[in-house]
Structure 1
């Protein structure tokens, strides 16, 4: 996709905003057409989901536009290497906002090596352009926000994957279509001499955009934000090889060596697991009846004071045999003996309620 976009911008239609608009429009048409034919299922527009996707669209548009501008002013290796440094920042974002643990020592080493390869490339880059690096810095900010927030939305908003594709492309198409006339790219379009080959390449970039959008949302759902980015970096190996044979404006051998260091580090990265929430464990070995009373109050509140077929928990933490009392015309309460409590050093409130009910039923027999 990166190579095809580069060809489109440099050789077919040097109008980045118009190219993005066409790609989004084709994606919307393809998705709605598939839904109308019954081939796929697409979520309808709902205001609550639109609000949640609004910031996704902002990050998506900013990332795409900065991406196109980077490809317009810099070589492909420059873009790939800067992208290789983003996992170091995203791993911290995963920990702060997305519930992931911090990387282990091996993964931290890989992330630092990724950053070192990126810095090494900048130092040996023979095609340094201030305008290109300005757009890269803007892309960096948009990309980080888009990756983190999009992962949050995918995890929290229930939608079909094609629904996500539709929302993302349709909501981005509206402001971009309004922006296209302002960019005054119609002069560029009028100057283009169209051939079947050029039209085919442009159409190919649009269809690949649909596939990329669908695959990226599936991948976001399956892995962490950091690992999502690293997978994208590893996929760029083929891009580098193709780029070397297509354009003469590629990186120096030293720069490509730094890029390979980044790819090698990404290969050995291990995804950080989700942080485990510690379950509430209550010890009643040393607390006696006061702790039992507290646990009984919790269960009584959760059960709403209702009796069950086997019994209920009274407000003072005792197990009252409601069923037996009703059947026998009376009945008493049965409290867990201290020696029984000592055998349960770590017991949850639900377990206490259950054991109390069993004990009550046995006594009625």
Structure 2
């Protein structure tokens, strides 16, 4: 892939960066070998080391967030409200940081906001579904569920974005990831599904979310922190609505929420605040990573991140049925 190819500058650059990010972990494929010199020439703004740092940052944040959310939902079992708090914190913190000059944040534009809303709304429901699954199951079940996602994601990416279908070796790799996750869970804790509806919703929306956000991130022209602001701001709208309808609007839930927050404010507030900070960090890293890798690669990365999640979960002993 050289700079002389003029199939549309944005598409060519994004494809080059996708290859570059994949080569960090798997090495160049037989079909496309990109040397370090070629990468520097064709994409001077994003080096291999920058991609590696983004991927590593995302891996650390994603691994921690799953365990932190599990902790937060144990002491504050209100999934819609917790998710809305995370989006509110991320949007507010990013906006303030931009105003004081700590980071570069794009101005809020109504046209861009409305264009980003469908993906952000789906992102909100997907995150909420993930939190709900975590709250009613164990971490191993969530890992198996995430291991399923790359397969439909690869199909959707080819159908909707026009990417080539994965090679047979890649399909074998995706199947190996899924089988390995299932074997691990059966040997360790076993699958624990407390709500099949949340699992099904997550498995349907997660691949769609990955492909849609990949497209919007590439086409938006927003800065990394601008993407964080827009994504969380758009997700905040449905978050407030669902929180009011399903939790805050219920007298019993509202009373229980008030009791939990007032009786043990430090015990409850600590994991909530920690989940908000972790959510802010992962918003930045995941949107930045999505910009330089394919949606399927991003989904596989999400599965591999859970290795550290298992480690942290075992240390924290958040699953009561762990031996």
**TM-score, normalised relative to structure 2:** 0.72
Tell me how far apart the structure 1 counterparts of residues 173 and 322 of structure 2 sit (CA, whole Å): 23
Correspondent of 1:39 among 71, 84, 102:
102
Q: Mean Cα displacement is larger for which, 147-156 or 108-117?
A: 108-117
* 1:3 alignment partner in structure 2: 67
SS at match of 1:181: helix
Q: Does 2:288 align with 1:218?
A: yes
* 1:194 alignment partner in structure 2: 264
Q: Which runs of 5+ in 1 are unaligned?
A: 254-365
How far did residue 4 of structure 1 move? 0.3
Q: Does 2:306 align with 1:236?
A: yes
Does the C-alpha gap of structure 1 residues 195 and 48 become closer, same or farther in structure 2, counting only changes over 3 Å? closer
How far did residue 196 of structure 1 move? 2.7
For residues 263-304 of structure 1, the C-alpha deviation after alignment (integer angstroms, 9 at most, x for no partner) is xxxxxxxxxxxxxxxxxxxxxxxxxxxxxxxxxxxxxxxxxx
For residues 17-48 of structure 1, the C-alpha deviation after alignment (integer angstroms, 9 at most, x for no partner) is 11112111111111111111112222222232
Question: RMSD of the alignment, in Å?
Answer: 2.2
> Retained in 2: the 8 A contact 1:75–1:249?
yes
SS at match of 1:235: helix
SS at match of 1:42: coil
How far did residue 50 of structure 1 move? 1.9
Does the C-alpha gap of structure 1 residues 248 and 198 become closer, same or farther in structure 2, counting only changes over 3 Å? closer
Correspondent of 2:213 among 139, 145, 150:
150
* Matched ranges for 1:320-331 at <5 A: none
**TM-score, normalised relative to structure 1:** 0.64
* Matched ranges for 1:219-298 at <5 A: 219-247=289-317, 249=319
* 1:312 alignment partner in structure 2: none
> Retained in 2: the 8 A contact 1:60–1:146?
yes
* 1:203 alignment partner in structure 2: 273
For residues 242-271 of structure 1, the C-alpha deviation after alignment (integer angstroms, 9 at most, x for no partner) is 222333747789xxxxxxxxxxxxxxxxxx
> Retained in 2: the 8 A contact 1:87–1:226?
yes
How far did residue 105 of structure 1 move? 3.0
Does the C-alpha gap of structure 1 residues 69 and 48 become closer, same or farther in structure 2, counting only changes over 3 Å? same
Tell me how far apart the structure 1 counterparts of residues 280 and 319 of structure 2 sit (CA, whole Å): 29
- Structure number with larger C-alpha Rg: 1
How far did residue 5 of structure 1 move? 0.4
* 2:204 alignment partner in structure 1: 141
Determine which structure has greater relative contact order: mean sequence separation of CA pairs < 8 Å that are 6+ residues apart, divided by chain length: 2
SS at match of 2:106: coil
* Runs (4+) off by over 3 Å: 117-131, 248-253
> Retained in 2: the 8 A contact 1:125–1:251?
no
- How many residues are matched? 252
Tell me how far apart the structure 1 counterparts of residues 98 and 237 of structure 2 sit (CA, whole Å): 20
* 1:359 alignment partner in structure 2: none
Does the C-alpha gap of structure 1 residues 41 and 84 become closer, same or farther in structure 2, counting only changes over 3 Å? same
How far did residue 128 of structure 1 move? 4.9
* Matched ranges for 1:164-175 at <5 A: 164-175=227-238
* 2:136 alignment partner in structure 1: 73
For residues 32-83 of structure 1, the C-alpha deviation after alignment (integer angstroms, 9 at most, x for no partner) is 1111111222222223212221211221111011111101110011011110
How far did residue 120 of structure 1 move? 4.7
Tell me how far apart the structure 2 counterparts of residues 124 and 198 of structure 1 sit (CA, whole Å): 33
Q: Does 2:151 align with 1:83?
A: no
Tell me how far apart the structure 2 counterparts of residues 248 and 171 of structure 1 sit (CA, whole Å): 32
Does the C-alpha gap of structure 1 residues 176 and 156 become closer, same or farther in structure 2, counting only changes over 3 Å? same
* 2:195 alignment partner in structure 1: 132
For residues 138-185 of structure 1, the C-alpha deviation after alignment (integer angstroms, 9 at most, x for no partner) is 111111111110001011121111111111111111221132232233
> Retained in 1: the 8 A contact 2:140–2:190?
no
